[in-house]
């Protein structure tokens, strides 16, 4: 993991709860490596694809569910294997299958356990 200054926020790991603004659940399809672990789970990076299921959003009674999350990670921030890490402050938008933006995701970082030996 490389570090640079100017980026602040908490790392997102695989245990973070992420949903669309309408309550659909976002899950990561792991595409990045397991080079850096947080609570034993991989740190999320911009290389990970996030899919949304269960979004109930409709427009004029026509279903318009969120289906994916696109992150705008800071290229000058920390990286894992060359991919920017995702922070709880990383800009993102949820999109429909037709790529219509639906608003930012809701991110609830997981509780972290730190063990010092």
DSSP secondary structure, 49-82, as one string? EEEEE----EETTEE----EEEEE--TTS-EETT
pLDDT of residue 33: 65
Domain segments of the chain: what residues? 17-108
45-72 per-position pLDDT tens digit: 888 889 999 999 999 999 999 999 999 8
C-alpha–C-alpha distance, residues 82 and 72, integer Å: 15
84-105 per-position pLDDT tens digit: 888 888 999 999 999 999 999 9
C-alpha–C-alpha distance, residues 16 and 27, integer Å: 9
18 contacts 50 by C-beta, under 8 angstroms? yes
């Amino acid at each position: 993991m490389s570090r640079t200054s100017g980026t602040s926020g908490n790392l997102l790991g695989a245990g973070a709860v992420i949903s669309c603004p309408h309550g659909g659940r976002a899950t990561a399809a792991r595409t990045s490596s397991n080079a850096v672990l947080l609570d034993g789970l991989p740190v999320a990076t911009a290389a990970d694809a996030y899919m949304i299921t269960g979004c109930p959003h409709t427009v004029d009674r026509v279903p318009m569910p969120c289906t994916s999350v696109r992150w705008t990670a800071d290229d000058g921030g920390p990286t894992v294997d060359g991919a920017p890490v995702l922070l709880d402050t990383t800009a993102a938008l949820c999109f429909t299958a037709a790529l219509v933006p639906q608003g930012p995701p809701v991110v609830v970082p997981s509780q972290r356990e730190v063990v010092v030996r």
